[in-house]
């Protein structure tokens, strides 16, 4: 059964894992290659943004993208939302779907083909106005079980309307159950005899932030004695790197959460932690930070300053609930004076994780709010201190009646200190109650 994993999939309670489905080729390499194609496609889309809200369709040339162009499809919504036109179909995707001849519209896509898996999700990108990643398994038209990963990216002709969607999809055919079991056994035995290794470069090494991520330096940024960021042992931009480089690194982390390759809380915590690192550098570079906010059209909020940071990193159109939660985590980290690079581990060690931290932080804020004054007591105190009224000046209704409040003075006399409007409903109700 297909499982859609959209831009907010990293917030699911359970991790998404294919550990039980061995692939015909070496599983780690297959998964890495598939993810890298999605990442490269996303980075290509991001590189076309410039100062636009959406990349221009005029800048897209899928037939010149040798890397993932053969795995791509371009949909044109200018002819209609219900049945968009297919204006480009990559050769590899066409061959996998066994499509011969011309295919012009979505309605022409063969059922149970891999292309139908990708086009099934196109309306979601219109609703989200942001790249959408997904992954699932299904049985194709040949009866083969396929695992696929895809990403859909919006394009526009006027920077306002999403009238084109560019999709990239990669796939692998799953092994039969008997072969899967045999491969799993071989992998288990091999892993026992080979020491654990780590990738030399992160999955985003071939993206826009590749140069930044390769700079693993130990240094400190010092503006004055009170504003020092301890970055010892932290993978980060160079010491003299602009604030925009810190933002790019944080946005790379957020992108891993937004598309379907990010399945664990670790990816989300890393992205939030990178956002916190950016926030700390921004605090000692306020002019650069203000310039970034202006460039992205984001306004800082005095009552919630970290909201602007999260919008810069995750995007202003990101889920509002998530923006609020992540901003709360950053504010908690600032109050706790956590060091650069430490928030991810802090969240992992926190009982209940990010959601529990947000819950506890909100409870703490509620407890610290001053208690609301008793409105009744406030009113009584005001009347007790009121200046006595001249009885002659008290207005009455047509029957000469008035409802007044009297205060006993120190000498034992009663002084009129307030009166209800003669034509008010409350005045009549009081008179009725007094007459009973």
The pLDDT > 70 percentage for the chain reads: 73
pLDDT exceeds 60 at position 276: yes
Q: What is the average per-residue pLDDT within 131-160?
A: 84
387 in the same domain as 356: no
pLDDT exceeds 50 at position 49: yes
Q: How many separate domains does the chain show?
A: 3
Instruction: Indicate whether 334 belongs to any domain.
Output: yes
391 in the same domain as 329: no
Please report, for residues 23, 388, 417, the alpha-carbon distance to residue 376 in angstroms, rounded to integers and kept in the order given: 72, 20, 17
Confidence of residue 186 (pLDDT cuts 50, 70, 90): low
Predicted local distance difference test score (pLDDT) of residue 181 = 56
327 in the same domain as 249: yes
Instruction: Indicate whether 184 belongs to any domain.
Output: no
Instruction: Indicate whether 21 belongs to any domain.
Output: no
Q: What is the average per-residue pLDDT within 5-12?
A: 35
Confidence of residue 328 (pLDDT cuts 50, 70, 90): very high
309 in the same domain as 250: yes
Nearest to 61 by CA among 174, 193, 155, 131: 155
Do 164 and 48 meet the contact criterion of CB atoms below 8 Å apart?
A: no
Q: The pTM is what?
A: 0.40
Q: What is the four-CA torsion angle of 326, 328, 329, 330, rounded to 10 degrees?
A: 90
394 in the same domain as 288: no
Instruction: Indicate whether 227 belongs to any domain.
Output: no
Last residue of a domain, one of 341, 368, 395: 368
268 in the same domain as 337: yes
392 in the same domain as 334: no
Q: Look at 211-220, 356-365, 396-405, 411-420 and tell me which has the smallest mean pLDDT.
A: 211-220
Instruction: Indicate whether 234 belongs to any domain.
Output: no
Last residue of a domain, one of 316, 350, 368: 368
Q: What is the four-CA torsion angle of 118, 156, 84, 62, rounded to 10 degrees?
A: -60
Confidence of residue 260 (pLDDT cuts 50, 70, 90): very low
393 in the same domain as 357: no
C-alpha to C-alpha distance for 354 and 329, rounded to whole angstroms: 7
Instruction: Indicate whether 220 belongs to any domain.
Output: no
380 in the same domain as 359: no
122 in the same domain as 83: yes
C-alpha to C-alpha distance for 360 and 370, rounded to whole angstroms: 18
| Mean of per-residue pLDDT scores for the chain | 75
Q: Look at 39-53, 78-92, 117-131, 265-279 and tell me which has the smallest mean pLDDT.
A: 117-131
Last residue of a domain, one of 174, 194, 220: 174
CATH of the domain at 50: 3.30.450.20
| Structural domain that includes position 84 | 37-174
DSSP 155-176: EBSSSSS--EEEEEEEEEEBPP
100 in the same domain as 58: yes
Instruction: Indicate whether 411 belongs to any domain.
Output: yes
Please, what is the end-to-end C-alpha distance for the chain in angstroms? 73
Q: Look at 70-74, 238-242, 309-313 and tell me which has the smallest mean pLDDT.
A: 238-242
318 in the same domain as 402: no
Burial category of 386 from C-beta neighbours within 10 Å (exposed 0-12, middle 13-18, buried 19 and up): middle
Segment of 3-7, 100-104, 357-361 carrying the highest mean pLDDT: 357-361
Q: What is the average per-residue pLDDT within 96-120?
A: 80
Instruction: Indicate whether 226 belongs to any domain.
Output: no
Q: What is the average per-residue pLDDT within 371-375?
A: 75
Helices 353-368, 320-335: inter-axial angle, 10-degree rounding: 70
Predicted local distance difference test score (pLDDT) of residue 232 = 39
pLDDT in tens, 287-320: 999 998 988 888 888 888 999 999 999 888 888 8
């Amino acid at each position: 059964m297909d499982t859609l994993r959209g831009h907010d999939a990293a917030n699911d309670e359970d991790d998404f894992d294919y550990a039980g489905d061995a692939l015909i080729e070496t599983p780690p390499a297959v998964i890495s290659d598939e993810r890298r194609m999605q990442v490269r496609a996303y980075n290509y889309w991001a590189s076309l943004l410039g100062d636009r809200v959406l990349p221009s369709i005029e800048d897209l040339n899928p037939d010149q993208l040798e890397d993932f162009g053969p795995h791509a499809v371009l949909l044109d919504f200018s002819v209609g939302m219900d049945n968009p036109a297919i204006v480009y179909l990559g050769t590899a995707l066409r061959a996998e779907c066994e499509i011969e001849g011309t295919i012009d519209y979505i309605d022409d896509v063969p059922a149970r083909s891999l292309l139908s898996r990708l086009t099934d999700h196109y309306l979601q990108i219109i609703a989200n106005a942001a790249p959408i990643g997904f992954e699932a398994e299904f049985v194709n038209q040949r009866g083969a079980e396929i695992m696929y990963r895809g990403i859909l990216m919006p394009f526009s002709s006027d920077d306002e309307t999403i009238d084109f969607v560019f999709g990239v999809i990669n796939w692998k055919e799953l092994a039969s159950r008997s072969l899967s079991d045999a491969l799993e056994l071989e992998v288990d035995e091999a892993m026992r005899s080979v020491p654990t290794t780590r990738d030399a470069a992160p999955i985003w090494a071939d993206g826009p932030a590749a140069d930044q991520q390769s700079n693993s330096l130990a240094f400190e940024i010092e503006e004055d004695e009170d504003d020092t960021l301890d970055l010892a042992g932290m993978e980060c931009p160079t010491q003299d790197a602009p604030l925009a480089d810190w933002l790019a690194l944080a946005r790379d982390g957020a992108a891993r959460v937004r598309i379907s390759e990010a399945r664990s809380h670790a990816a989300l915590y890393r992205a939030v932690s990178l956002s916190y690192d950016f926030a700390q550098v921004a605090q000692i570079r306020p002019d650069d930070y203000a310039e970034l906010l202006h460039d992205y059209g984001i306004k800082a909020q005095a009552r919630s300053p970290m909201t602007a940071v999260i919008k810069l990193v995750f995007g202003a159109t990101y889920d509002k609930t998530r923006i609020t939660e992540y901003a709360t985590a950053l504010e908690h980290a600032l109050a706790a004076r956590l060091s650069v690079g430490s928030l991810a581990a802090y969240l992992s060690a926190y009982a209940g994780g990010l959601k529990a931290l947000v819950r506890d932080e909100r409870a703490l804020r509620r407890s610290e709010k001053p208690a609301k004054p008793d409105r009744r007591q406030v009113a009584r105190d005001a009347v007790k201190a009121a200046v006595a009224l001249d009885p002659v000046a008290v207005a009455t209704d047509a029957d000469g009646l008035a409802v007044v409040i009297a205060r006993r003075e120190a000498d034992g006399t009663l002084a009129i200190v307030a009166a209800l409007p003669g034509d008010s409903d409350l005045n009549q109700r009081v008179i009725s109650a007094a007459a009973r």
